[in-house]
Structure 1
Amino acid sequence: MPVPFDSQKLYYRSPFGAVEQDTKIFLRILVPRRLKTQKAELCVKYDYDYNWVFTNFLWAGTFDDDTEIWECSFTPDRIGLYWYGFKLHTNEGIRYIVPSDPYNISTIEPSPGRSWQITCYKKGFTTPKWPVGGVMYQIFPDRFNFSGEEKSLKRTDFTRNEDWYALPKWEPDENGEITNSDFFMGDLKGITQKLDYLEELGVSCIYLNPIGEAYSNHRYDTGDYSHVDPILGTDEDFKELCREAKKRGIHIINDGVFSHTGSDSVYFNRSGRYGNGGAYRDKNSPYYSWYKFNEWPDNYNSWWGFYTLPEVIETSPEFNEYINGKDGIVRKYMRYGNSGWRLDVADELPDEFIENLRKSVKEENPEAFIVGEVWEDASNKESYGARRKFLLGEQLDSVMNYVFRNAILDFCKGQDARCTMSTIMSVIENYPRPVLRVLMNSLSTHDTERALTMIAGEPLNGRDRRWQAETHLSEEQREMGIKIYKVAAAMQYTLPGFPCVYYGDEAGMEGYRDPFNRCCYPWGWENKELIEWHKKLGNLRKSCSALWDGEFINVYAKERRLEYIRHDDHSAIFCTFNLYDRGVVIDPPPGYADAKPLFGSRLENGKLYVGPLSCEMLILEFN
């Protein structure tokens, strides 16, 4: 008996995935003849509407001796989410077709269950063209490269770590606080010095963690948005970085930290570093309206309860003008040469603020890129009691794709390939096509454990910082981890989206959580094998157009093996990933028997031999 409905197969639903406004969707269900169905209904509910709308299916013949075909169509006309399911009037009573976890297999049940999702996005929504086919590289500025240029600094309230290869300071100070005030002096000129290296990796975009003046090494406690932190250099150094990067076809995007500032800032000024002004010290301050004081000055809303990070009221007209105005911070750095913004904690920013930011960014440069930090499925994310509108065409171009990250790493750690593929397919089904092509696909970030540690290390399981500081991969763990990491990176580079390498992952860096995932790049101690692997993957993305915006076909997913095809009008690539500890022999899809294996596996007599803990790719080019 065929499944009643599968939203991911064109036979049942066309077109597949998220749709533009006013797109007609054709639906087909298969119903057992034994039910003697008199009527079949499509049940649709627009997000947050109370009422379901019912549309009758038409009987369309038989699939086989035991199965009937019913068909109908539906056209969503409002941007947002629609939920849909199927109701059958049968000789056995009312029945429902419902999706079953975890592999999207539908069944017929006597009661309604979960619904399927349709994402409907704004007509004409497009995303920037330049990220397509490229590679992003994330840099934590203090830890990537020190130019050797000493700065003339006024501040003395920090510690300089002279040993580039040492661990960041991780123990609390005498007051029991983690101040993040140790610096390795990485700077913007240091990044400029390494642009040739990044170009060799195939990098087309650098995402910089915050560079504005701040008093911690992570710089998420903004002290002054309006200029570069003196430890990193000057505004001119940033302009020079953008100019030199542009010569190599590399774009720069900045980290926008707009949900809070530092308490030690020109805007709040709790510690008095900036004289007598600031919202904490003066109710007449021009910045007073930015903050929510429950009882001035000491009782104020702060980010996750950290008193050093007072929250801003993003809908404050004064704050919005300062950030998004004609001469605001967003446009200032774009005029310096950047190509867009990554928005920190995007799910904590109001819709109104993100929409204002998008208007500002796109007016300055329609091809600028806006990517938001969202850890879950961003198409149906809820925060602050409302469904978010991130991907509907009026806010973000992309999000940090932690969903793919988790799927890839879980597969590497033993998860059944079917579950991994199900997660991948859910994103491809739910996200608008313009977003899919530029999804920011990371394996590690400054907020996660390093991918190599996740793959090969002992699980953290809540252990303390001392354990994290003292625990490293054994030689055996590292050797095994690098093999599996290469498979993970190959998936990262070939799935829909824009792969983002967290600095040093390509060199074999390891580390548990902050600050151990933020060590300095190991210049002179890199893992050459991994670097060459990333160069090869970068070249693959440049040369294979199927990876730019090609269709995705789920070919095979079971236990420790996963396969898919990407294709467009010019090329196709078959990707197979084997995480068994033994080699496998597979039958490539039709048409691939004469292709040359990219990574040197044996292909003969129509059989592809893929080694243990490895992957292979076969490429076809069309005339």
Structure 2
Amino acid sequence: MRIALLARCVGPLLLALSSAATFAQAGSADAPVCSKDPLGGRSLYLRGTFNSWNAVDRQRFTWACNRYELVTSLQGEHRFKLGDEGWSADADFGAPPGAARSPMLALRGQEISRKFSGVYRLRLSMSPSLRTPTLDIESCPAQAPLGDTVLFLRGSMNNWAAVDDFQFRWSCDAYYLNVKVTGRHDFKLADVAWSPKTSFGADPQMRPAAGATGNLNAVFSGEHTLRLAFVDGKPDFSIGPKTFADPTAQQVSHPVALSLKFDSRAPQFKQPFGAVVAGTPIRYSLAADKGVDRVTLVIENRRLEGNQEVLEYSTLARLPMQRRADGSGERWEVTHRFEQIGVYGYWFEVQIGDAAFVYQNNSQAVFWTREKGSGGLGAVADKPASTRTVRRFRQTVYSADFKVPEWAPDTVYYYIFPDRFRNGDRSNDPRPGGGRTQDRYHDKDVEFHANWNSKPFRPGTGDGSDAHFNNDFFGGDLAGIIEKLDYIKSLGANAIYMTPVFQASSNHKYDTADYTRVDPAFGTNADFARLTREAARRGIRIIPDTSLNHTGSDSIYFDRFGKYASRGAFEGGKIRKDSLYASWYRFDETQTDPNKQYTGWVGVADLPELDKASPAWRDFAYRKPDSVMKQWLDLGAAGWRMDVAPWVPDDFWREWRAAIRAHTPDAITIAETWFDSSKYFLGDMFDSTMNYIFRNAVLEYAAGGNAKELWQNIELMREAYPPQAFYALMNLLSSHDQARSLHVLGWHEDSKPDAIALAKQRYKLAVLVQMTFPGSPAIYYGDEVSVTGGDDPYNRATYPWADLGGRPDEDMLAWFRKLTALRNQHAVLRRGSIDAPLFLDERVVVLHRALGDEHAIVLLNNAETERAVALNVPDRLRGRYLDLLTGERLDLSHRVMQINAPARGGRVLVRQK
């Protein structure tokens, strides 16, 4: 309803004498028909390429009366869907087939594509049957009209105070506030200081106005939504039924429950810190005000098998905690010893009078990880009907004999997609219409780029390519890598990780045709051995890649197209029980459609899934003395990166690791996992993983994201991973499976020079983080000379060699070389210990590294301006420092020192002896 102004102007505090502007209450005809949350309390999220498809709180919808609503800022072209945390069957919404631009959504629909630029309000309206949802997306103003000013409802209902419970929230188009008030009340809308420009009452013309001294008046009867908008700069205020979706609404109000506190990373709440060796006792302590009756620590086993979709906990112990006095409050304490390796969950069940609560992990999303909660400070909630929804704190318990190769923390990887790096032997290039193995893609022709600097083909884009994916080639090979080993060495890298080089039909080679043979388009097995020898002469290790989860359909083992002399398990599209490889796969003879007679990995028929339980397959892969894994180690490989590790059973990896280590004790084992990989670091499976959590956190930080939020992803790994694994993580920023860093940071095909310059500046900051952080940095080929590109295939562009007409960015290359040199020269930047940041706010992160009596302080700043940091310098860190980036010398001899951090940059300070 609109305002009915009936009063004259009087002072805001002369309540007894005041007349007021009066509001008529909204009638029932205006009230929407409200219904219960159709998902029964489960949260719904906007999930897409802008948040790594995670369920993050900042993009969580709020149910309000009859719809879900979200206001969020989005930039760039993105794909997205709406889903709950587990992509449940009744909460996975996308576009109906063939209707990508329709507001209608469908369960299990397709990804929606849209270009964003600003702030948006998304409203998902639901039918009672949950079958006909519609999504409306509207643009919002770039900023609130009152800037950072905070408005409150101040009146007789709250003694005219500025109370948090009566704080308005700006949401897209107006300031909103939900209230639960009864009776007639005088009030105004005002900031804390009663500033004339931001205090709204009734003016002499009986309209709401800034600085007006007349009190507003309304009769309240329960729950309402107050709305203040600005139309042509003038305030427009209304009161109606409660319809505002307030994302900040607090669920728990009990004062004692709100006093509960536990921080998994603070020694006063949990000791020892982080992951522990099996058999280590851990002390837990929960703080609270007086009034708690009982606290129970609930310890649970997490099921350790399969991908992260398999997420189950079972109760291991319920431990009563003991109360002790702690100043004016209390401490509840208990000690537990974890005897077996594993990943455990724990949370606190709290009884206060008749009310039951849980103290659980926070709601922070971890990149790519289904399970929410980043560790650290937790949160209280009412005890749910089912403990399935409790967010567990997580505890990693690993084997006392867990060791990674001693060389791992000193590694800088150069990460190569072989077809696109360098063509060193043109005689083995794939030829369209040719008759050699490398000249055919399954039963189809190949495409070859005569121009090394052209874009990879993507069918359906009008680029002149055929209708098939992954069948275009540029001619990169092992000879090209050998030719450029000195370049790689000069970059500061001492290991090469390369995607598969074994025979396969595609350009990516994950559809293996023969595990025992280098693809003819890449060279020969002798070329592989020569590569490892030449690399070793330069102090460079070679890490190959393959999948033990699936082969190609066009392989000697499966042979769907009948191309090979050996009898494949599905030769010519028929099940061949007499094949030597028949037991490697699972077949369904009841099906008549060949595509349904076997399982393609994630539904892809070109990638028939292997039966990892098959003894014959395990013998071939790693058990036998001449097994595939051992063959390539004997040819000089320094370890293995394993594709799609979560789809392979854990017991397979345990056997595999034991076989690898028995054959080559210092070989490294690297998993391809994108999420919290704790279960792989118990000492029985892997040493390392491709660290996509690091990638996303660092790139979002470099793009200007909130450091306080993003750094929790880093702290989770520091807490959850055993130190030896944490220092061996492959810390990448780009990969062949994700858009390149410069694309993520804003350099697109249509970008203007200013946007390109900004993206480069941001990327330099990201690389600075990468090169000064524990773990093994991975440089994706071409990133060091500013190659950009979006999703596959454009992230797999060629290296722009100058002798082939390319234009490598020498400035960026110099930055990489400078940072790798610093890392290689200063062991403290590779092996130095690291704790929680010395300083952390929304923009600045200050880290301390220590190795014996060596100390380094790294300052990072993603703000667009220089920031002055007042740093508390612990006694052990005081002294004189050298900035390795600028050569400046600093004296940090006092307890509090001010240090300047450059805009979108940083400093690397090393203490001088």
Fold shared by both chains (TM-score > 0.5): yes
> In the alignment, which residue of structure 1 is the partner of 2:627?
328
1:513 to 782, 788, 791: 791
State the 1:276 CA deviation: 6.6
State the 1:293 CA deviation: 1.9
2:523 to 233, 238, 252: 233
In structure 1, C-alpha distance between the alignment counterparts of 2:890 and 2:684, rounded to whole Å: 51
Alpha-carbon distance change, 607 to 242 in structure 1, aligned in 2, over 3 angstroms: same
> In the alignment, which residue of structure 2 is the partner of 1:78?
340
| Matching residue's letter, 2:652 | F
In structure 1, C-alpha distance between the alignment counterparts of 2:770 and 2:829, rounded to whole Å: 11
State the 1:494 CA deviation: 2.5
State the 1:12 CA deviation: 2.0
> In the alignment, which residue of structure 2 is the partner of 1:140?
417
Q: Which moved more, 1:148-157 or 1:605-614?
A: 148-157
> In the alignment, which residue of structure 1 is the partner of 2:808?
526
In structure 2, C-alpha distance between the alignment counterparts of 1:601 and 1:38, rounded to whole Å: 60
Indicate conservation of the 8 Å contact 1:544/1:571, yes or no. Answer: no
| Matching residue's letter, 1:414 | G
Q: Could you state the TM-score of these two structures normalised by the residue count of structure 2?
A: 0.62
Deviations 1:129-166 (A, max 9, x none): 11112211110011111124523983433333221111
In structure 1, C-alpha distance between the alignment counterparts of 2:337 and 2:911, rounded to whole Å: 36
Indicate conservation of the 8 Å contact 1:553/1:566, yes or no. Answer: no
State the 1:84 CA deviation: 1.8
Alignment of 1:92-131 (within 5 A): 96-102=358-364, 104-107=376-379, 111=383, 113-131=390-408
State the 1:39 CA deviation: 5.2
Indicate conservation of the 8 Å contact 1:44/1:52, yes or no. Answer: yes
> In the alignment, which residue of structure 2 is the partner of 1:539?
821
Indicate conservation of the 8 Å contact 2:742/2:760, yes or no. Answer: yes
In structure 1, C-alpha distance between the alignment counterparts of 2:496 and 2:508, rounded to whole Å: 17
In structure 2, C-alpha distance between the alignment counterparts of 1:472 and 1:354, rounded to whole Å: 45
State the 1:603 CA deviation: 6.8
Alpha-carbon distance change, 165 to 99 in structure 1, aligned in 2, over 3 angstroms: same
| Matching residue's letter, 1:105 | L
Q: Could you state the TM-score of these two structures normalised by the residue count of structure 1?
A: 0.90
| Matching residue's letter, 2:534 | E
> In the alignment, which residue of structure 2 is the partner of 1:270?
560
> In the alignment, which residue of structure 2 is the partner of 1:461?
none
1:186 to 467, 476, 481: 476
> In the alignment, which residue of structure 1 is the partner of 2:647?
348
Indicate conservation of the 8 Å contact 1:79/1:120, yes or no. Answer: yes
Indicate conservation of the 8 Å contact 2:702/2:904, yes or no. Answer: no
Larger proportion of strand: 2
State the 1:97 CA deviation: 3.4
> In the alignment, which residue of structure 1 is the partner of 2:905?
614
Indicate conservation of the 8 Å contact 2:324/2:330, yes or no. Answer: yes
Deviations 1:259-300 (A, max 9, x none): 111111111112222147211224311012212222375522
Indicate conservation of the 8 Å contact 1:602/1:608, yes or no. Answer: no
Q: Percent of aligned pairs with the same residue?
A: 32
> In the alignment, which residue of structure 1 is the partner of 2:734?
444
Alignment of 1:152-301 (within 5 A): 154-155=436-437, 156-157=439-440, 158-171=446-459, 177-275=467-565, 277-281=567-571, 282-295=576-589, 298=595, 299-301=597-599
1:501 equivalenced with 2:779 (yes/no)? yes
> In the alignment, which residue of structure 2 is the partner of 1:53?
317
1:555 to 833, 838, 847: 838
1:374 equivalenced with 2:651 (yes/no)? no
Deviations 1:390-424 (A, max 9, x none): 22211111111111111111222332111111111
Q: In structure 2, the residue corresponding to 1:577 is in which secondary structure?
A: strand
State the 1:589 CA deviation: 4.2
In structure 2, C-alpha distance between the alignment counterparts of 1:620 and 1:4, rounded to whole Å: 37
Indicate conservation of the 8 Å contact 1:554/1:564, yes or no. Answer: yes
> In the alignment, which residue of structure 2 is the partner of 1:468?
none
1:430 to 720, 740, 753: 720
| Matching residue's letter, 1:595 | Y
In structure 2, C-alpha distance between the alignment counterparts of 1:415 and 1:80, rounded to whole Å: 34
1:43 equivalenced with 2:298 (yes/no)? yes
State the 1:490 CA deviation: 1.3
State the 1:453 CA deviation: 0.5
Alpha-carbon distance change, 273 to 530 in structure 1, aligned in 2, over 3 angstroms: same
Q: In structure 2, the residue corresponding to 1:81 is in which secondary structure?
A: strand
State the 1:527 CA deviation: 1.2
In structure 2, C-alpha distance between the alignment counterparts of 1:566 and 1:67, rounded to whole Å: 36
State the 1:511 CA deviation: 0.3
1:314 equivalenced with 2:571 (yes/no)? no
State the 1:87 CA deviation: 4.1
Q: In structure 2, the residue corresponding to 1:594 is in which secondary structure?
A: strand
In structure 1, C-alpha distance between the alignment counterparts of 2:322 and 2:604, rounded to whole Å: 59
Q: In structure 1, the residue corresponding to 2:577 is in which secondary structure?
A: coil
Indicate conservation of the 8 Å contact 2:882/2:909, yes or no. Answer: yes
Indicate conservation of the 8 Å contact 2:849/2:856, yes or no. Answer: yes
> In the alignment, which residue of structure 1 is the partner of 2:329?
67
Indicate conservation of the 8 Å contact 1:455/1:484, yes or no. Answer: yes
Alignment of 1:401-416 (within 5 A): 401-416=691-706
In structure 2, C-alpha distance between the alignment counterparts of 1:401 and 1:275, rounded to whole Å: 41
State the 1:531 CA deviation: 1.4
Structure with bigger RCO (C-alpha 8 Å, 6+ apart)? 1
Alpha-carbon distance change, 313 to 31 in structure 1, aligned in 2, over 3 angstroms: same
- Larger gyration radius, structure 1 or structure 2: 2
> In the alignment, which residue of structure 2 is the partner of 1:597?
883
| Matching residue's letter, 2:608 | P
1:478 to 756, 762, 787: 756
In structure 1, C-alpha distance between the alignment counterparts of 2:448 and 2:464, rounded to whole Å: 18
Deviations 1:166-198 (A, max 9, x none): 112222599974242222111112111211111
